[in-house]
A and B are shown apart, each in its own frame.
Chain A
Amino acid sequence: MYTTPDGEEVFIIDGHTHFWDGSPENQKNIHGKQFIDCFYGYHSSLSPKDKLWTREQFAKYSADKMYHDLFVDGPDDMAIVQSTYLKDFYKNGFNTIERNHEMAQGQPGRFIVNGAYDPRDGEEALEYIHFLKETYDVKGVKLYTAEWKGESRGWKLTDPNSYRCLELCQKLGITNVHIHKGPTIIPLDKDAFDVHDVDHVATDFQGLNFIIEHCGLPRLDDFCWIAVQETNVYGGLAVALPFIHSRPRYFAEVISELLFWVGEDKLLFGSDYAIWTPRWLVEKFWNFEIPEDIKQEHGVDLTKEAKRKILGLNAARLYNIDVEAQKVRLKNSPLAVAAE
């Protein structure tokens, strides 16, 4: 729970977190090393100096540290954990659903663990989606269209195998499809950041919600255009939000564009933990005001109501969380966190 300077309590759902193992022991090859190094680049270039971790801390952290950073030091009430396998880079995967599920067990009621699949697996992908539903009752998945697999360097949401997977998700009620459209890993030959495939699947799968992580930041303009037309397309703010510290003016312009085109009902806060920690992000976001000239130019405002929606209420709606009931439940089951 975040308590504002005015004493108001704001319910926070962190829409994008990870529990990864990028340690040298788990790295399979140079790509594994470069992947976690790249994450660290994001961490170090956009974090406030007093929030910097060492490379060692960053590569692998304990479940207790995660609980502490999110729920004790941090203001999160709940967090969505995204699974990212990357088995071509990491011996045991970067963060598989097994690893995430085990971590989440330590704090009942706090985590929503999402699955992941790779449509290039064909029939096996369909079987795996059944397994995710039956074993973990997942409500969402995180897809990396850019993930390497053998000699393939990426896929599109509109590929026939992908359509079959999305059909199955819709049928099983795995309704929230988070799609990584953003920096870091990229397909080889395609326009790495093209978001147009989202447009097609959003039209064809009205029973699914598509949450575009990082708002397709390298293609924010294209993303905005798609989100205007598709009622079931949402934007995740991870990567865009940390600009609030180092480049507040850019952040003001980016959030203004998003508010204008996408709207306050369709944006989700996410810390991208452990790339960033939620406390400073939430504090700065709550206290942020769009400069007057940008407000005028764009004709938008970031009101308290908008902030409440972005920080938690929008995600609660997507994941069918009754916020008032959840508050009571969390109050009655205090955190069990080991001393740091």
Chain B
Amino acid sequence: MGAMDNTPIGGDTRVAALWDGLSRVMDPELDESIVDLGFVTDVSLDAAGRVDVGFRLPTYWCSPNFAFLMVDDIARELARLPFVREVHPKLHDHMASDEVNRGAHLGLSFAETFSAFEVSGTLEDLRETFHRKAFQRRQEAVILGLRRAGWSNAAIVSADLATLDRVVLEDEEAARQKPRYRELLLARALASTPSDRAFVTLEGAPLTEVTLPAHMRALRAVRINMEANGALCRGLLDARYGEAPAPEVPAHEPDHAAHACGGGGKACCGGCARQVSAFQPTAAPDL
């Protein structure tokens, strides 16, 4: 096997498992998968269990701390796979490529990685900021899905975890976000038993019919911000790497209600809350 070090082994199953692992890594700001966003350019596995992941961002200036979080998460997520021995994420074309790649390779913290500069603190506050926003976005999607399914505000605010688990949501985005919402609800210890409320504030306070409208307005602002950012990031990535240029969308196309981005069908930005088709990773050219 020694002579075949760079040859992928284990066939498509292992490579598929790697892509699957990568798809669980989120852009922290957007709460969207880095695979769906087109950030991952290539993945390879050699006979010794070494994984190389090529990774790029929409601009040279994207936050190094966000980049660091993503690279860190890539290494963490892939290291869980039994056949993986070493993970080498490689960030391309970025102002902090050298530092981030070196830090990931040596397993350094953010502060250690950037010790040549004036940095302070850790990234934990940043992680928490993003977790909170992700929780809010996911919760809104589920509540909107329930509303579309005819649920009253009273039924929503009184629903418990068991009820949430039983309900089958027709709305595509709500169905996608339900398990993701549940995951954060439990991870943040906002619910733990089947009789706990399914919808509470970030601080764990129950919602009421009176407080729900204002609560939903706040969640909507979070979603609109994230969707606009997602569209901006995709547009910049396309502009930078020249793949799949954003299609021209008529100003008021008839089926606009189907897509928050203003696109419909193939013209969808791919990042809005009503995304239709998932990005299919393909082999990307060398950068």
Bound together: yes
- A: residues with CB less than 8 A from B are 31, 34-35, 37-38, 40-42, 44-46, 48-49, 151-153, 183-186, 188-193, 217-221, 224-225, 239-240, 243, 245-251, 253-254, 257, 260-261, 284, 291, 293
Of B64, B225, B231, the residue contacting A218 (CB under 8 A) is B225
Question: Contact at B232–A189, with CB atoms within 8 Å?
Answer: no
A40 to B235, CA, bound (A): 12
Residues of chain A lying within 8 A (CB to CB) of residue B117: 151-153, 188-189
Give the Cβ gap from B103 to chain A, nearest Cβ, in Å: 13
Please report which residues of chain B, range 261-278, place their CB below 8 angstroms from some CB of chain A when the two chains form the complex: 261-263, 269, 272
B33 at the interface (CB under 8 A from A): no
Q: Within 8 Å CB of A239, what residues of B? A: 232
Asked if B12 is at the interface of the complex by the 8 Å CB criterion, the answer is no
Which of chain B's residues 90-107 have a Cβ closer than 8 Å to chain A?
95-96
Report 21 cross-chain contacts, Cβ distance below 8 Å, ordered by A residue: A34-B95, A35-B61, A37-B240, A38-B236, A42-B236, A153-B117, A153-B118, A183-B59, A185-B61, A186-B62, A186-B64, A188-B65, A188-B96, A189-B65, A191-B125, A192-B66, A217-B232, A247-B261, A248-B249, A249-B256, A250-B260
Taking the complex as formed, is B227 at the interface, i.e. its CB lies under 8 A from any CB of chain A?
A: yes
Q: Which residues in B have their C-beta under 8 angstroms from that of A189?
A: 65, 110, 114, 117-121
| Cβ-neighbour of A249 out of B126, B236, B259 (below 8 A) | B259
User: Given A45-B238, A189-B65, A248–B251 Cβ distance below 8 Å?
Assistant: yes
List, in ascending order, chain A residues with CB within 8 A of B201's CB.
none
Q: Is the CB of B225 within 8 A of A217?
A: yes
B229: contacting residue among A38, A49, A218, A225, CB under 8 A: A218
**A138 smallest CB distance to B (angstroms):** 27
Q: How many A-B residue pairs have CB under 8 A?
A: 142
Contact between A240 and B246, CB atoms less than 8 A apart = no
Question: Given A221-B224, A251-B262, list of 17 further CB < 8 A pairs?
Answer: A37-B60, A37-B240, A38-B59, A41-B240, A42-B236, A45-B236, A46-B235, A151-B116, A153-B117, A188-B114, A188-B118, A192-B63, A217-B225, A217-B232, A224-B221, A248-B262, A253-B227
Known contacts A31-B95, A191-B129; is-contact A152 B118 (Cβ 8 Å) = yes
Specify which chain B residues have a CB less than 8 angstroms from the CB of A45 in the assembled complex. Answer: 232, 235-236, 238-239, 246
Q: Are A246 and B246 in contact (CB under 8 A)?
A: yes
Could you list which residues of chain B lie within 8 angstroms of chain A, going by C-beta atoms?
A: 29, 58-66, 95-96, 110, 114, 116-121, 125-126, 129, 133, 217-218, 220-222, 224-225, 227-229, 231-232, 235-236, 238-240, 246, 248-249, 251-252, 256-257, 259-263, 269, 272
Could you say which of A191, A250, A260 contacts B228, with CB atoms under 8 Å apart? Answer: A250
CB distance from A212 to the nearest CB of B (A): 14
Question: Which secondary structure dominates where chain A touches chain B?
Answer: helix
Q: How far apart sit A34 and B60, CA to CA, in the bound complex (Å)?
A: 6
**CB of A152 to closest CB in B, whole Å:** 6
The 10 A-B pairs at the shortest CB distance, nearest first, are namely: A249-B262, A45-B235, A189-B119, A34-B60, A221-B221, A45-B239, A220-B225, A41-B239, A192-B63, A44-B239
Residues of A within 8 A of B121 (CB): 189
Q: How far is the CA of A284 from the CA of B66 in the complex (A)?
A: 34
Q: Are A192 and B228 in contact (CB under 8 A)?
A: no
Nearest chain A CB to B286's CB is how many angstroms away?
19
* Closest-CB distance, A47 to chain B (whole angstroms): 10
Identify the closest chain B residue to A191 (Cβ): B126
Taking a contact as CB atoms under 8 Å apart, the answer to whether A221 and B222 are in contact is yes
Closest B residue to A46 by CB, please name it: B235
Q: Give, as a whole number of angstroms, the nearest-CB distance from B57 to chain A.
A: 11
B residues less than 8 Å from A191 (CB atoms): 65, 125-126, 129
Residues of B within 8 A of A221 (CB): 133, 218, 221-222, 224-225
CB within 8 Å for A249 and B260 given contacts A188-B119, A218-B225: yes
Residue numbers in B under 8 Å from A37 (CB-CB): 60, 240
Contact B260 A253 (CB under 8 A): yes
